[in-house]
């Protein structure tokens, strides 16, 4: 009798329990990566080629929140936020679709005039949201509920995207960047690296009007969403991770980061003149232009988590 009652009770419990959800099939062109993310091949119609994008889907179905992560200028075949940055485990509790595209080196996230194979602004602001909507079911592709973060040249790319598409982006976090390509030093940095390292013989913009169009400082009035900006002094953290080339971390990373701090301060001055109290600035007394600095700012100091909360 007792055994029968127990059997009936177990059967009733099994009938009453909700079915365990089955894992959704991966979208076409995607395969398992790690930390709950997938490695996907995403086609760009504007460039007629495919790009690797690491996608970690949101935890809840129908969640419209998206975070785009832009790497530095000399990134390889995989986004550095995933490899050196450790973003996937650090953001494992975040309920948003995390997107890590790998783009061409020194692209500055620009639509290059006269270069059909280099339309990265279009890819980030139009094609990637379209892909997230069609392949992953992200409502409206995350338009209006997307945050964008970037470091080094990617910081400029993130700020520029947000200033040009304020209806698309709801949160920005920029690390160690430059934000005024019209200023002499910043002009030289963008133009020089574009011609020397991008594989293109010309800079991205065919004329000065296009440079103005892609100047976040001149378009600062469009930045109405929460914006977090950080930079460090350029003093190397010898007690931290010196990276694969410690000499370069000191000799190159130090001056690069010191310059970024100056350029960040210039952007802060313009933000103050424009009355933009939604843009906040953070400076670290220690740190060169390296992942040790960016991981510490993003995760140890918590700026990345606040950026995510602002989406």
How far is it, in rounded angstroms, from Cα 238 to Cα 234? 12
How far is it, in rounded angstroms, from Cα 43 to Cα 2? 62
Compute how many other C-beta atoms are within 10 angstroms of the C-beta atom of residue 274: 13
**SS3 label, residue 121:** helix
pLDDT at 21: 31
pLDDT at 20: 30
Which stretches within the chain are classed as H helix?
2-16, 87-90, 120-122, 128-136, 153-164, 184-197, 208-213, 246-251, 253-273, 291-295, 303-310
CA angle 50, 52, 55 (to 5 degrees): 125
- Contact assessment for residue 50 and residue 41, using Cβ atoms and an 8 Å cutoff: yes
Which residue, among 192, 269, 190, has the nearest Cα to 229 in the 3D structure?
Answer: 269
- Contact assessment for residue 277 and residue 265, using Cβ atoms and an 8 Å cutoff: no
Question: Comparing 121-125, 187-191, 256-260, which segment has the lowest mean pLDDT?
Answer: 187-191
How far is it, in rounded angstroms, from Cα 169 to Cα 184? 29
Provide the percentage of residues in the chain whose pLDDT is more than 90.
83
Q: pLDDT tens digit string along 196-255?
A: 877 777 888 999 999 999 999 999 999 999 999 999 999 999 999 999 999 999 999 999
Which residues are within 8 A (CB) of 1 and not within 5 positions of it... i.e. 6 or more apart? none
- Beta strand pairing call for 49-56 and 30-32: unpaired
Question: Comparing 102-116, 145-159, 259-273, which segment has the lowest mean pLDDT?
Answer: 102-116
Which residue, among 227, 250, 214, 241, has the nearest Cα to 295 in the 3D structure?
Answer: 241
- Contact assessment for residue 55 and residue 97, using Cβ atoms and an 8 Å cutoff: yes
Q: Which two tokens stand for residue 244?
A: 């694969």
Q: Domain locations in the chain?
A: 28-310
Q: How far is CA 23 from the centre of its chain?
A: 27
Q: φ, ψ for residue 50 (rounded to 5)? A: -105, 150
**SS3 label, residue 2:** helix
**SS3 label, residue 114:** coil
Output the CATH code of domain 28-310: 3.40.50.1820
Which residue, among 159, 129, 164, 121, has the nearest Cα to 146 in the 3D structure?
Answer: 129
Q: pLDDT tens digit string along 165-205?
A: 999 999 999 999 999 999 999 999 999 988 887 777 788 89
Q: Which two tokens stand for residue 216?
A: 């976040």
- Which H helix or E strand runs over 194? helix 184-197
């Amino acid at each position: 009798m007792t055994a029968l009652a127990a059997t009936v009770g177990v059967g009733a419990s099994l009938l009453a329990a909700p079915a365990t959800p089955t894992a959704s099939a991966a979208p076409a062109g995607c395969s398992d990566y790690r930390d709950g993310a997938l490695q996907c091949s995403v086609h760009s119609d504007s460039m007629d080629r495919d790009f690797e994008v690491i996608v970690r889907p949101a935890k809840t179905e129908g969640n419209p929140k998206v975070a785009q992560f832009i790497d530095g200028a000399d990134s390889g075949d995989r986004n550095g936020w995933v490899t050196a940055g450790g973003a996937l485990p650090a953001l494992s509790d975040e309920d948003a679709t995390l997107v890590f595209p790998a783009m061409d080196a020194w692209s500055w996230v620009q639509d290059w005039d006269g270069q059909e194979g280099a339309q990265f602004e279009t890819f980030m602001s139009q094609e990637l949201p379209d892909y997230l909507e069609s392949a992953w079911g992200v409502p409206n592709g995350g338009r209006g509920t997307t945050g964008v973060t970037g470091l080094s040249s990617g910081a400029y790319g993130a700020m520029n995207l947000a200033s040009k598409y304020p209806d698309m982006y709801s949160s920005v976090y920029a690390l160690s960047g430059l934000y005024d390509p019209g200023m002499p030093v910043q002009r030289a940095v963008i133009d020089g690296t574009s011609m020397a390292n991008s594989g293109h013989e010309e800079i991205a913009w065919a004329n000065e009007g296009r440079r103005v169009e892609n100047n976040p400082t001149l378009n600062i009035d469009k930045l109405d969403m929460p914006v977090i900006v950080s930079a460090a002094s350029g003093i190397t953290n010898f007690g931290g991770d010196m990276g694969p080339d410690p000499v370069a971390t000191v000799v190159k990373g130090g001056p690069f980061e010191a310059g970024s701090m100056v350029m960040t301060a210039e952007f802060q001055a313009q933000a103050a003149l424009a009355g933009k109290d939604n843009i906040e600035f953070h400076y670290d007394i220690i740190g060169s232009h390296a992942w040790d600095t960016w991981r510490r700012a993003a995760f140890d100091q918590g700026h990345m988590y606040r950026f995510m909360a602002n989406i």
